[in-house]
Each structure stands twice: as structure tokens, then as C-alpha cells.
Amino acid sequence: MTKGNNEPAVLKVDYAASEGPLDHIWTSIGFDEINWSYTPRGKDLLGMLNREVAEQPYYVRNHNAFTSGNGLSYPAGGSTNVYREDENGNAVYNWEIIDQIYDAYISNNFRPLIELGFLPYDLVPDQTKEAASFNSGFDLGYENYESGKWKLPPKDYTKWEKLVEAFVAHLVERYGADEVANWYFELWNEPNIRHYWHGTVEEYCKLYDYSVAGATRAFPQIKIGGPGATDKGAEFMRFFLEHCTRGQNYITGKRGTQIDFVSFHTKGAYFDPRRTYGHPVPKASPSLAKMMGDIRRMTGVINSFPELAGKPVFIDECDPAVGTIYGVYDNPNFIVCNNEYYPTFVAALVGEILKYNRSLNIPVTLITHWAFYFEGKRFFEGNRVLATNHNIVGPIVPGLQILGKLGSEKIRVETSAGANPLSEDFSDQTQVVDGLAAKGNEKCSVVVWNHADDWTTEGSRTVELHLENLPYTAGQQIELKHWRIDADHSNAYTEWVKLGRPEGPDEEQLAQLRKSQQLALLEQPSTVTVEQTGSLKISFELPLHGMSLVELTPATQA
């Protein structure tokens, strides 16, 4: 274990120094397993997020809206059977599963960010289509379609276009134009890598044009975009944006194609090997520097197209490490998904993105946490999820709660313990104590995190908060609340470890876990008095990989 810096960190927050609206860019989740949206556990988790976490409607993104299969999700898989063809090659649409998915979202105040993908079985090119049988030579459970045919461009682009049109028209009919106008539609996922797309960039652009044609015919107000490229997809992104803004449309023959937002992905680590089979592996950690480098590179491409000014930019997979299906039994470094490291890393990343946004004409407007839950796993498996078994949530959920408590007006924060992840001397040992501050509705708040990328680093820092020009009168009584996430607060994982890591916790243990998962106060609320200068000074200890929220409200408003 490495020991962190123990010098006091001074954060000056000047509540007269507004930096404009605070964009709550963290309000989106996503997951592959689309059929878990409407399971009892899935609906329960969506309901809890809506009631206890979401300060505004969260967006939700999924893979597999068009994928064929048996309608049962499994890790990194799912299907809807939305499309098939009859014996004459005519389209037959089935909305049964689709309706269950989007009903679950809308009833819990989520807004879909819908991937148009993947390729339905009956749109697989005929020369490659093959149904596995018991005599086909495939191992049991290894179906030809599931093994990769869903990654192909369609056999008939017009049939794809009509599928998109019928799909969008059905959503508008079921949920209403006003509701669907708030949604976003994205073609495919990560088409720059063969793990998801077995076509060319030209074929992707062609499919995009056909998708836009079908979608806009069904709903002219639709918001559609892409490409959802990986962090290595800068040139793919450039080709796609060139096509949309200046290229020849595959259908109309005219210049350009409608694009309402641009999307890409970044991950903080690629743990190698993903699965160790019991062998020891070296310590590895997510990297703020890597992610901010990805963001600089990809937003650089986007900002080179002035035609895109005013368009939203989504990082609609934005996570500490690749591989949501992997956990601590595959590679111990995935411990970062279980504990207090996860929310602290996210908070630090959000802070850095918001800083970097100030240098961009076309900034990042939304990031998606690719995390939900898994069926059939052990307690705290270490998958990148919001909740483990029994929907016991990990510290990431109170982390999102803390961010959600911030107000609508961003306030400048100056720290003596900051560091730029894009600087050459930034390393996984670099310790950052920084924060986000906001005000609104007579509340002043500041979130502070103590982060180092190296998850094994230990220690704590004394934080000195200097709050200046508070919008209160000298001598006014103010209620102070101090919320905390660390190893001992708002942390069901730590409690589970203390209980002996039970795989089948009894009711008393479950009650303890449910209590420990709640966002916790560090201490009881107190009343403080604003100084004559309109300022306050607050000091506290903050462990590494911990975060605090300090809230001030007039005592009469408490």
C-alpha cells in the first residue's frame, strides 16, 4: 500500500463567483441486458433510483433493442425478437418485449437513449445465415447468429429503414409525441471495432442514412445521432461526421444527413488479463489521465466541425474499467467497482470534464454509467453494477445522490491540492483534493473528493473549506449538514465484509446492509453563524477515496 500526501488541502469557494449553470452531466445509466429492465428486481431498482437518486430524469441506454433471441437476458446479452419475416419475406413486427422495456422506464421517469441495433436474425445476409441444429457441428449453446451474425450490415437496407420507421411510429403512438421528443436515438454501438460491427465505415454511414430516413418519416421531431465510437475511434468519428455534415447522402444524393447529437465512449482501464484463472496479477488501476486524454482527442474531432455547434455531446459509456461482466473473481483489480473508489473516481472525473468543457465550443453534455445489476451472481461479485444481490446498492449510488444534491448554479472552487490529469507529471500516485460547488434555492453546497488513481493508496487529508461571500447576512444562523462516503460511511460493501462476506445473509444481516447503503451523515446537523465578512471556515479529515458534501441552508428553512 502507498501512503498519500497528508498536507492540509485548502479549498476556497467564492459564492459571488458564478460560473453559470451547473450541468448535471452525470444523469444517465446504461446496460447490455435489456430484458432485465422489466424483471421484478429491475423495476424495483429503477423505482428506487427515481425516488432516491434522480434529481432530474435520468437517461437510460441499452444494447439489443433489435436483437433476436429467446427474450432472456444474460451477462452482456439480451433480445426482443422485434422483427422477423414470414414465408413470403414480409416483415412481422412484435412489440411485446419492447413495450415492457419502455413501460418500465417511462413509469419510473427515465428517458430512453435508444440504440438502433443490433441486426435481427431475418435481416442477416442470406449467404451467411445459418441456424444451428444438433447436427450442425456447433457446441451446444453456441449459436451461429449469437456468435456474430448480429454484427453484420443488413441484407436489405430498405427493410432496415422500414423497421426503424415502424419502431419509432409505435413508440410515438404508445408514449406520445411530447414524450418521445425528449428521447434520443443512436445507430448501433461502437461500430469502429469488430466486437460490434462487421461492416465498413462506409456501410455504417449508409445504414445511418437509411435509419434517419425511416426515423424522420415516422417522427419528424426525432433526435438522432451517433456513432457511439470507442476511445480508439477518432478517425471513424471524423469520417462519420464528415459524411453527416458534408458528404453525399446515400438516399437523397444531396449533401449531408441529419445529426442531432454526437456520441463516443471512454474507459479508464483495460485490466489484463481480464480473467486470471487463479493466477496472481499485478495491481492496476483506472486512469483519469487516460480518460481525459480520450475526451480531449474525441472532442477535438467534434469541435473541428463548426456545423455541429450547439449539438449535445454524449459520452454514453464512461466508466472506470472495461468489462462490466468481469469481477473480482476474474481479476482482483475489479475491486474498484465494489467500494468507495468508484463514486470518488466518478466525482473526480465529472469535475475534470466540467473544467475541460470551459475550453470547448461544443462541450460534453452527458455521461453514462454503464451499470445496472446482474442476475445469478455472488454478493459483491465486483461487476460494474449499481446493486448486488437483493438490490443492495454499492457506494456508487450514494455517490450519485451526493452529486444530485448540488444546485443549479456552478460556483468557482480554487484548491491548493489539485492537479491536471492532462499534464505530463500526472501519475496514478498523484493525489487530488478538489471539489464542485453550487447554489440555488437558498442552499449553498460543495462536494469535496480525495482521490488518487492508485486504488491501493491509503491515508487522509485535512480539508480546510473557506466559504466566502455566502448569500446570507452576517450573524445569520445556518444549518450545516455534512454527508460522507468512505470506507465507514454510505458503504454496504464494507459492512458486508465486516459481516464475514455472507453469500446468503439472513434477515438481520440484510437489514444491516440496507441501513449501511444509505447516504450517511458524518455527524449530526449543526447550527453555525455566518461571520461579519459573510464567510465560514470548516475543517475536517477526508480519507483517500472518500468524498464529502457540505450543505448550508438557513436554519429556518431546515
Please write the tens of the pLDDT for every residue from 37-90.
999 999 999 999 999 999 999 999 999 999 999 999 999 999 999 999 999 999
Residue pair 25/482 in contact (Cβ under 8 Å)? The answer is: no
Please check the confidence at residue 558 and state whether its pLDDT lies above 50: no
Domain membership of residue 13 (yes or no) is no
| Nearest Cα to Cα of residue 457 among 475, 437, 432, 440 | 432
Domain membership of residue 18 (yes or no) is no
Note the pLDDT of residue 1. 57
140 bridge partner residues:
none
> Which CATH number goes with the domain that contains 494?
2.60.40.1500
Domain membership of residue 384 (yes or no) is yes
361 with 394, same domain: the answer is yes
Mean pLDDT calculated for residue range 319-337: 98
Considering 369, 404, 439, which residue would you say is the last residue of a domain? 404
- The reported pTM is 0.96
277 with 129, same domain: the answer is yes
Q: What is the chain's mean pLDDT, rounded?
A: 96
Note the pLDDT of residue 147. 87
CA distances from 27 to 61, 151, 400, 401 (A): 11, 29, 8, 10
Domain membership of residue 11 (yes or no) is no
161 with 290, same domain: the answer is yes
Domain membership of residue 515 (yes or no) is yes
> Which CATH number goes with the domain that contains 389?
3.20.20.80
| Burial annotation 277-288 (CB, 10 A radius, 16+ → b, else e) | eeeeeeebbbbb
487 with 545, same domain: the answer is yes
379 with 412, same domain: the answer is no
357 with 427, same domain: the answer is no
299 with 161, same domain: the answer is yes
Domain membership of residue 4 (yes or no) is no
Mean pLDDT calculated for residue range 7-36: 98
167 with 73, same domain: the answer is yes
109 with 211, same domain: the answer is yes
82 with 109, same domain: the answer is yes
Note the pLDDT of residue 533. 81
Note the pLDDT of residue 143. 79
User: Residue 314 — very low, low, confident or very high, per pLDDT cuts 50/70/90?
Assistant: very high
pLDDT > 70: what percent of the chain?
A: 96
Which are the contacts of 423, defined by CB distance < 8 A and separation ≥ 6?
none
487 with 462, same domain: the answer is yes
C-alpha–C-alpha distance, residues 431 and 553, integer Å: 31
Note the pLDDT of residue 534. 87
Considering 404, 434, 455, which residue would you say is the last residue of a domain? 404
Burial of residue 508 (number of CB atoms within 10 Å: 0-12, 13-18, 19+): exposed
> CB neighbours (10 Å) of residue 395?
30
User: What does the longest C-alpha to C-alpha distance in the chain come to?
Assistant: 85
Note the pLDDT of residue 532. 82
Domain containing residue 362? 23-404
Please check the confidence at residue 141 and state whether its pLDDT lies above 90: no
C-alpha of 289 from chain center: 18
188 with 230, same domain: the answer is yes
Grid cell for residue 46? 429503477
The count of C-alpha atoms lying within 13 angstroms of the C-alpha of 458, restricted to the half-sphere facing its C-beta, is 3
Mean pLDDT calculated for residue range 304-324: 98
Domain membership of residue 7 (yes or no) is no
Domain count, the chain: 2
Over the stretch 247-299, which tens digit does the pLDDT of each residue have?
A: 999 999 999 999 999 999 999 999 999 999 999 999 999 999 999 999 999 99
Secondary element (H or E) of residue 203:
helix 201-218
